[in-house]
Amino acid sequence: MQNCLLLGGKALSDKIVETIKTEVLSLKKEKAIIPGLAVILVGNDPASHTYVKRKKDACSKVDFYSIVHEMPEDISEDKIIQTIEMMNKNPNIDGILVQLPLPKHINTTKILEVIDPKKDVDGFHAYNIGRVVSGLDSFVPCTPLGVMRLLEEYKIDVKGLDVCVVGASNIVGKPMASLLLNAHATVDICHIYTKDLKEHTKRADVVVVGVGKPNLITADMVKDGAIVVDIGINRLESGKLVGDVDFENVSQKCSYITPVPGGVGPMTIAMLLENTLKSAKKREG
């Protein structure tokens, strides 16, 4: 690696977790409030179970109350909705999240819309997404928020920079582009129907990619000195975890790059905890 610095999220996330622990202690002492996070987990997807375990472990670290509602693969939409409505009314629950993806027979949008926007700590409800786009205070989706905090930590100001966001999902790509726009970057969004991806990434000062395709971004697709943020996480047949960027070769050209694992991943969970704490602080109105 030639003069390329790693944008590591582990140390920053640890620092954020310590701050949250201190704030939770104060909240308990002064207002007798313990932040509560509820998770709905449908089916037997191994990756989803792993992510939920990490979230539950993270809650334990900061002394949050947490509960996981595990549901069978064939559960009806109505049963999921009933559970969410019950948690919407529960005064001890500050954050509700539905682990995605849901089984094909479930309408994901319909389910997410049932969550009370004031408890939508994943930031996926249309109300919160609308406020993110408008630059208003809201619950921001955790991964894009984590990326912005990581850039801030390394004193990377995107104002005036050309940024290429690869991936246009509702939970990562679109809110990522909105946050970058709000920070006064010039944003280019690419997706599966983009005609010539390289033409877009090659001229960008910052490339942010999150599509779930190993080695999608290769060294010839980025310019010298670019900043590369890899949100993707993929498990190869060998069991190795890799991102969407050909790390070994791209890191020879760029100025900063996030590792996978250990880059954006830890930040996503730290932001989930931060959002849940934010909700708990508003509990008394």
In the residue annotation, 2 being an active-site residue is answered as no
Catalytic hit among 94, 99, 205, 246: 99
| CB-based contact 108:42 (threshold 8 Å) | no
Q: pLDDT confidence of 174, banded at 50, 70, 90?
A: very high
For the whole model, what pTM was predicted?
A: 0.95
The C-alpha atoms of residue 184 and residue 132 are separated, in whole angstroms, by 14
The C-alpha atoms of residue 129 and residue 134 are separated, in whole angstroms, by 9
Q: Give the pLDDT of residue 283.
A: 86
Region 204-209 average pLDDT: 98
Catalytic hit among 94, 119, 120, 122: 122
Region 21-34 average pLDDT: 96
In the residue annotation, 122 being an active-site residue is answered as yes
In the residue annotation, 82 being an active-site residue is answered as no
The full set of domains in the chain, from first to last, is 32-118 (3.40.50.10860), 141-265 (3.40.50.720)
| CB-based contact 71:61 (threshold 8 Å) | no
Q: Give the pLDDT of residue 3.
A: 82
